Structure 1
Amino acid sequence: MTQATTPRPQLFDRSAIAAHRNRLTPEALFLHDIARDEIEDRLSMVNKTFNRPALVAPFAEGWESCLPHAKHVADDDTLDLEVGSHDLVVHAMSLHWANDPVGQLIQCHRALTEDGLLLVLMLGGQTLNELRSALATAETQLSGGLSPRVAPMGEVRDLGALLQRAGFALPVADVVPLTAKYRDLLHLMQELRGMGETNALAQRQKGATPRRLFNKAEEIYRETYATDDSLLPATFELICLTGWSPSENQQKPLRPGSAKARLADALKVPETPLPK
């Protein structure tokens, strides 16, 4: 007798994400422009030509110059990628909305040929930390409780470990920190709406948010973070993940203890023993 399986709870509401992306405004997509420049710069430093690229992204507009002839793949839970069909997969500005980020990376891994490259650009854990703190403090003061209002995002160390879990070789994770400034909280919220990056948590409150909460949040935001010119800074942390599909021709890390020279000799300094 086959037992029914309980559906896995979803962190994000994919229908809400799709609705938010329908309201995109081109002038608000500066993060996507920066992500594209980062990808282009990193590809220029790789001594390899890629002939079968794929782009996993909310939309393909703007990527033509960076990834001409790339197959555009929507960032659905199941990616439209054929096994072993690409030598490069770029996953751009959408992994932070994935209900199963490891599953997304595994799908990308399977789509790569041997010695194929994965490049991921996504928002990281420090993104909107000022807004998150101001909203949490305001809601606690006004109602004595908290609602999920800003999506949780991965820290760079944890995201780098996901590459290893997904089977990638030579995994690297690094951060591109950015700060934008806004006139007020409404200005910031309008730009987030134009990016399609507003709250799409499955457990979010569906009703209208009381205006007094935003007024209190702006007061706290301004008292805590405002710049000397009375603007509100907002952190956007871009995380870049790089991994390669394993190949026998790739460099391999040395076994511990296999070094043939001492670091102290190379640096020409006396060796200091560790304290017992």
Structure 2
Amino acid sequence: MRTPPNIADRASLDRNRSRMTATFMLDAVADEIQERLIEVNRPFNAPAIVSGQPEYWARHFPDAVQVTDTDLLALDAGRHDLVIHAMSMHWANDPIGQIVQSRHALKPDGLFLGAMFGGQTLHELRSVLAEAESRVTGGLSPRVAPMAEIRDLGALLQRSGMALPVADAMPLNVTYEDAWALMRDLRAMGEANALSQRLRKPTRRAVFAEAAKLYAEHFSDADGRIRATFEVIFLTGWAPDESQQKPLRPGSATTRLADALGAKELNLPQTDD
């Protein structure tokens, strides 16, 4: 079996998370998760939450088992009717492994709900940092965690063996006074650079100054504030169960579409090729 690449420096990631003081993004996601669970309209008596901020999620889901998002999840097979993977999969070395482990922890017809940053997140910051570093130093270094696009994450959900898989995105657009304020906020969110391949020596201040200048030039509103995009992708799937709806076999329909729509069926004239 192929060993997944080591994306995050776990010690740095844990340190960044321990310093988290800004929770507005987690608050928005927690509210959205609560709304989605209400729409499911069923009780969950054995929930578990996988995350890197167990203290935060325990306040919102006090009855849930809190599980740290390590490569090997401390989840018991078939124990839970709900597993929420909360805002940490973008740091996972093996996202498909995280989903598969979550599925194995579900009872039949149990619900998996994942939330993570998607590929459009901080695309403005990524582009200006790359251009600034290239201009100032003549090279590039990893600075933002790699985040998958929604279709790729949807494919992972299907590969994991989940039934009724759905992937959708919630864009969140935030404005800041300048790029410096954005970068301070990312540190306060616990989302500072923790990549294992990151530059290990301090970055020259000139790189950030150039990035701030480029940001203001390319991504400013009329009032001078800069825009920052955060894309949260939600993955929903169910542990397979015989009670679930299944698609009909192709060709098994017993009613014509025209009859179902109450429309008159027209015979098209034949044409010679």
Relative to the length of structure 2, the TM-score reads 0.92
CA pair 257-184 structure 1, distance change in 2 beyond 3 A: same
Q: How does 1:149-168 map to 2 (within 5 A)?
A: 149-168=143-162
User: Match of 1:215?
Assistant: 209
Alignment equivalent of 2:15, drawn from 19, 23, 27: 19
Offset of 1:19 from its aligned partner?
Answer: 1.1
How far apart, in 1, do the equivalents of 2:267 and 2:179 lie?
54
Offset of 1:164 from its aligned partner?
Answer: 1.2
User: Could you report, residue by residue, the CA deviation over 1:4-47 in whole angstroms, capped at 9, with x for unpaired residues?
Assistant: x996531211111011112111xx21110011011100000113
Letter of the aligned partner of 1:22 in structure 2?
A: S
Alignment of 1:126 onto 2:120: yes
Aligned with 2:140: secondary structure?
coil
Stretches of 4+ moved more than 6 A in 1? 269-273
How far apart, in 2, do the equivalents of 1:271 and 1:149 lie?
60
CA pair 201-272 structure 1, distance change in 2 beyond 3 A: farther
Aligned length: 269
How far apart, in 1, do the equivalents of 2:77 and 2:184 lie?
40
Alignment of 1:147 onto 2:113: no
CA RMSD of aligned residues (A): 2.2
Aligned with 1:115: secondary structure?
strand
CA pair 68-6 structure 1, distance change in 2 beyond 3 A: closer
Q: Percent identity?
A: 53
How far apart, in 2, do the equivalents of 1:272 and 1:216 lie?
66
User: Match of 2:5?
Assistant: 9
Relative to the length of structure 1, the TM-score reads 0.91
Unpaired stretches in structure 1, ≥5 consecutive residues? none
Contact conserved, 1:40 with 1:66, CA < 8 A, in 2?
no
Letter of the aligned partner of 1:214 in structure 2?
A: F
Offset of 1:256 from its aligned partner?
Answer: 2.8
Higher mean alpha-carbon deviation, 127-136 vs 248-257, is at: 248-257
Higher mean alpha-carbon deviation, 250-259 vs 128-137, is at: 250-259
User: Match of 2:107?
Assistant: 113
Offset of 1:151 from its aligned partner?
Answer: 1.3
How far apart, in 2, do the equivalents of 1:124 and 1:272 lie?
47
CA pair 257-66 structure 1, distance change in 2 beyond 3 A: farther
Unpaired stretches in structure 2, ≥5 consecutive residues? none
User: Match of 2:225?
Assistant: 231
Letter of the aligned partner of 2:73 in structure 1?
A: L
Higher mean alpha-carbon deviation, 14-23 vs 138-147, is at: 138-147
User: Match of 1:58?
Assistant: 52
Alignment equivalent of 1:82, drawn from 73, 76, 86: 76
Aligned with 2:212: secondary structure?
helix
User: Could you report, residue by residue, the CA deviation over 1:84-115 in whole angstroms, capped at 9, with x for unpaired residues?
Assistant: 11010011011111001111111101100000
Contact conserved, 1:264 with 1:271, CA < 8 A, in 2?
no
CA pair 182-249 structure 1, distance change in 2 beyond 3 A: same
Aligned with 2:142: secondary structure?
coil
Letter of the aligned partner of 1:12 in structure 2?
A: A
Letter of the aligned partner of 2:6 in structure 1?
A: Q
CA pair 78-268 structure 1, distance change in 2 beyond 3 A: same
Alignment of 1:197 onto 2:208: no
CA pair 155-214 structure 1, distance change in 2 beyond 3 A: same
How far apart, in 1, do the equivalents of 2:90 and 2:262 lie?
42
